[in-house]
Chain A
Amino acid sequence: MDLVRFFVKRFLRLLLTVLIISTLIFFVIRIIPGDPALIIAGVDASAEDIQIIREKLGTDRSLPMQYLAWLYSIIRFDFGNSMISGESVTKLIFERFPLTLTLALMGISIGILVAIPLGVMSAVKRWSLWDYFGLVFSQAGMAIPSFWLGMVLLLLFAVKIPIFPLFGSETFAHYILPALSLGFGRAAVILRLARASMVEELSKEYVITARAKGLTETMVKYKHALKNALLPVITITGIELGYMLGGAIIIEQVFSLPGLGRLFLFGIYQRDFTLIQGGVVFVAIVFSMINFLADILYSVVNPKIRVE
């Protein structure tokens, strides 16, 4: 019962977030000086040409009408056509999305599979070799810029020792180096949090209860403390994944991958307003959805959140 109510509440919050962001984008775009119709038409265009473009864009209508039309288009997931190529923005986004999704999932997997176990072990065996290794790993992960790591990895494992392909996105192997470069820094953040969280949980009173019950140390740590320690880790992992799904502009540039990041970057270069606004709304929706899923997962692990 609690879970269903929590689910509905969080879903309404998701819708509200998307609505607020869409509204913000709508007005920000309108505040930016310059009439998009003029930009499209060019300096030499006649007044009629400009009027025709305005009608096509819908900017000839009143502001409230434009706003309603905008919200309606979001509901239909139709962000209009690119002002440069004329292609559907939705189509452009969904062409690029699988690549970004693959990259993000692989990047976050590195975070989950490496950082969480390493962080938890660091906490359990504090000030041991494990912990120092984790410390070096996370310091390096936070200090090394991902583009530099990407270039070094390319140089080492695609040029000097050609194990991985230099560019392209056809096979799984193409994604390994970019995912590593992308995931390393994220993993560092997750590791620090996992360690701090586990250290805190291990000092909680219920751990004493678990020991007093005669449970083995394995059960005390990896059942009782770990389940609680994972809570903040779930939240931060969701946020990290959300960021990655917005496209990794730098990594996509380094590895010449045609992902969302590059699509939006070129949209900005070319002042493709419809593409930019569609892109921002899309990223906002994806981000909210990931957070929503993380919240649901969180509430399964920690039922207490449902009533708070």
Chain B
Amino acid sequence: MMAENQALLKVENLGVCFTHGAMKAHALRGIDLSFYREEIHGLVGESGSGKTVTSTCIIGLLPSPPGEYTSGRILFDGVDLLGLSQAEMRTYRGRKIAMVFQEPSKYLNPAFKIGEQITEMLKLHLDMNKEQARQRAIELLGLVGLGKDGRVLDSYPHELSGGMKQRAMIAIAISCNPEFLIADEPTTALDVTLQLQILRLIKKLKDLLGMGVLFISHDLGVVKEVADRVSVIYAGRIVESSTKGMLFENPLHPYTKLLMASIPDARKRGQRLATIPGRVPDADATPSGCAFHPRCPLADERCKTENPELKGKENGHAAACHHAGESWNI
């Protein structure tokens, strides 16, 4: 077990609020996350739970206004990223903290060749000249499985398939040997067969480059495939956090249990797929007490008024629930 102080990146009590006129939406309500080198930390939640806001904060691109930090710090190598100016943050972005996005066809610039989209970073962050950058770009393409001859360098995004585009996107992200990689639903837009390839690629690169990885997904099945550690986020709060093994063996939070029950399973073929009733509350109308109580089968009076703390961090398996570990008939 790694000690707390070895964390590569720590999110501490992070709170984010979006203001639209008189309406205030508390997208993040004090979340804690720790990321370690050579470890993939999966962040799981439904749409609107705050996954992407978390990644946006870490890379320093929270649109402000309307976004605003209400509390917390993001420590990277002991530096609070939230205290940096945009110019200072730019020396981290792409260089030390990189990001892979969900839909490569939208997130790659259609008007530039893949080569240019890789080499511009190398020239900017690593002061490489044109030839050095090109050599390095060819190397990178080989690394992500896009051929060793560098032919893809002269391709435009539209000339590549979906899987190739995502590989190119990954090549861009890892070009400057970042210490921390954010992968925001990197496989959601891909075919199932390609998903697995991309997941394996991310794992391979994590080991090769020793990166810490934040892997965001709405799909617990995908996270099970790739992550070493998993945190479950609900309505802007972490509700459960643990190593993958412990979490899947013994989920403590009813939300986590319900998420697991809704993973399609070949052994349950023919049965009805379990679903969680209701939906994630809007961030401007978070329920009182435990935000999950309107959808929770275990909810009682206490859950409606008292927000549970995230307990059990000491043994590496924490859950924020008054009824943590209790079971019921799903």
Contact = CB atoms under 8 A, between A and B. Distances in A.
B120 A302 contact: no
A209 B93 contact: no
B90 interface: yes
Given A303-B156, A307-B158, A206 B90 contact: no
A223 B121 CA distance: 13
Interface stretch (A43-51, A112-120, A210-218, A275-283): A210-218
Contact of B93 (A204, A206, A211, A223): A211
A214 to B, nearest CB: 3
B125 interface: yes
Interface string A209-234: 11111111001000110011000000
Interface of A: 204-206, 208-216, 219, 223-224, 227-228, 301-304, 307
Contacts of B124: 214-215, 219
A217 to B, nearest CB: 8
Contacts of B172: 209, 213
Residue among B103, B112, B121 facing the most chain A CB atoms (10 A cut-off): B112
A227 B111 contact: yes
A212 B112 contact: no
Given A219-B120, A307-B158, A211 B110 contact: no
A280 B90 CA distance: 57
Nearest to B56: A208
B109 A209 contact: yes
A158 B172 CA distance: 59
A205 B103 contact: yes
Contacts of B159: 307
B106 interface: yes
20 contacts: A205-B101, A209-B101, A209-B109, A209-B172, A212-B94, A212-B98, A212-B99, A213-B93, A214-B95, A215-B121, A216-B90, A219-B124, A224-B109, A224-B111, A227-B109, A227-B111, A228-B111, A303-B111, A304-B158, A307-B159
Contacts of B61: 208, 211-212
Contact of B106 (A205, A212, A213, A304): A205
Contacts of B125: 214
Contact of B94 (A205, A214, A302, A303): A214
Contacts of A213: 93-94, 98, 120-121, 172
A46 B121 CA distance: 84
A301 B107 CA distance: 18
A223 B120 CA distance: 11
Contacts of A204: 106
A216 to B, nearest CB: 7
Contacts of B35: none
A227 B112 CA distance: 9
Interface string B192-215: 000000000000000000000000
Contacts of A216: 90
Contacts of A214: 90-95, 121, 124-125
B108 interface: yes
Residue among B91, B125, B158 facing the most chain A CB atoms (10 A cut-off): B158
Contact of B59 (A206, A212, A301, A304): A212
Contacts of A224: 109, 111-112
A304 B110 contact: yes
B252 to A, nearest CB: 34
A235 B180 CA distance: 43
Given A214-B121, A215-B124, A206 B92 contact: no
B290 to A, nearest CB: 33
Given A209-B108, A214-B125, A303-B158, 10 more contacts: A205-B101, A206-B106, A206-B108, A210-B109, A212-B61, A212-B93, A214-B121, A215-B124, A216-B90, A304-B158
A216 B123 CA distance: 13
Given A213-B172, A214-B90, A304-B158, A208 B107 contact: yes
Which 5 A-B pairs have CB atoms at the shortest separation, nearest pair first? A214-B94, A214-B93, A213-B94, A205-B106, A206-B109
